[in-house]
Amino acid sequence: MFSKSKINEPGPKTADAPATAEAKPAPAAPAPEFKPSAPKAKPPASTLSADLMVKGNLKTSGDIQIEGQIEGDIRAHLLTVGEGATVKGEVVADDVVVNGRIIGRVRGLKVRLTSTARVEGDIIHKTIAIESGAHFEGSVQRQDDPLNPGGNRKQQAAPAKQQG
């Protein structure tokens, strides 16, 4: 009932036309540009369980929830340190929420020490919140760009020792 027409097919139009070395194939049509219809869903945070001990640096553009022990530097988008967790090293993240213990420098746009937090080290931040009961020993420094080690200093470093 239907037959395939050879009008739109590339190549010689007749079967008798000889193929020559100079014959060039028809250019392929450009692929249409892919545009997603909806934004991708944000993946859940990676969780390092309480029985896990890591010696080494961690780096991700995503979110991390630490429940175990880490000896090394951490770089993430959102870092949450659980109540029973300990991090020994520098922490750099857009958002840092500390429920457990950090021994080392903390750099973050938003840093929050909850009432169960224990931090021994300097905090470089854009905004900070320290709940009553948090233990903090070190200096606090506000910078417009705390994620960049050479960022602008807005306030002089203020040594602080707070025990709720």
* Sequence-distant (≥ 6) Cβ neighbours of residue 107 within 8 angstroms: 90, 91, 92, 93, 123, 124, 125, 146, 147, 149
| pTM, 2 dp | 0.67
Exposed/middle/buried for 116, CB within 10 Å: 0-12, 13-18, 19+?
Answer: middle
The predicted pLDDT at position 44 comes to 80
The predicted pLDDT at position 74 comes to 96
Q: Where are the domains of the chain?
A: 46-147
Residue-wise pLDDT for 56-70, tens only, equals 999 999 999 999 999
